[in-house]
Every structure is written in C-alpha cells, then in structure tokens.
C-alpha cells in the first residue's frame, strides 16, 4: 500500500484540475470521466489491487477515446493544438513503454505519465469541443 504522499498516488489529483475546467466549459462527459479516472487510478495506485487496475484501465481508455475524437474530428480544435496533443500523446506512450520495462523504471517514470496525461486533459478541457456540439 502506497501512502498518499507517494507521487504514484498524488499525481492523480492533477486530473481533478482538468475535470474542473471541463465542467466549467460544460464538457460534462469529459469531467465525469476524468473524475472516475481520478478515483480509479488513486485506488489502484494506493491499494495495488487488480479490481482497481481494471477500473483504472477502463477510465484511461474512455479518456483516451475522448481525446482521439477531439484530435480526429474536424473543427474540434485549432490545428496547432491537435499537433501538440499528438506530440504529448506520443510522449505519453513512450513513457508507458519505458515504465513497463522494469519495476525500477515504473517507479521512476509512471508518475510523470500521470503528469503528462493530466496536462493533455487540461489542454483538452481548455480548447476542446463539448461532445454535444460535435
């Protein structure tokens, strides 16, 4: 069990910032999904139980899916933001591959995976288009 001060746990709180921004812009689906991700990932990283890992992975899939829709559909974001989102997504995938190579790399890189993903979510909440307007 990890304490709340562990970066694997507290870095999940960054998703709450993105959820707040999304809710403020009436992107309610994104906001709720990010809050579910925050809860699932915090539980998984603090308790390290498989049942929470499955919920964490499902929430990650939903957020990534939302992001892919924002990148792929025309008119959802300015082209520069789409390029930035693609670069950050690539960086995030590289970190995910790197941290899966060994427990030491996981311990070192995984909190940065959360930070990068939260930054993408914040940017998506700031410049994306609510799904009800797609």
The structural domains of the chain, with segments of one domain joined by +, span 7-133
Strands in the chain per DSSP E: none
| Confidence at residue 25, expressed as pLDDT on a 0 to 100 scale | 94
What is the reported pLDDT for 84?
83
> What is the pLDDT tens value at each position of the chain, 134 positions in all?
887 788 888 999 999 999 999 999 999 999 999 999 999 999 988 887 888 888 988 998 888 888 888 888 888 888 888 888 888 888 878 877 877 788 888 888 888 888 888 988 998 899 888 876 76
Give the pTM: 0.84
């Amino acid at each position: 069990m990890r304490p709340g001060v562990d970066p694997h746990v507290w870095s999940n709180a960054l998703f709450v910032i993105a959820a707040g921004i999304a809710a403020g812009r009436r992107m309610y689906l994104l906001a709720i999904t990010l809050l579910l991700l925050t809860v699932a990932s915090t539980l998984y990283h603090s308790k390290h139980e498989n049942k929470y890992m499955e919920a964490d992975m499902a929430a990650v899939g939903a957020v990534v899916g939302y992001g892919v829709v924002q990148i792929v559909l025309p008119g959802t974001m300015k082209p520069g933001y789409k390029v930035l989102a693609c670069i950050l997504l690539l960086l995030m995938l590289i970190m995910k591959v790197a941290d899966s190579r060994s427990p030491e790399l996981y311990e070192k890189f995984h909190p940065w995976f959360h930070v990068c993903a939260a930054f993408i979510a914040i940017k998506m909440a700031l410049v994306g288009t609510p799904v009800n307007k797609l």
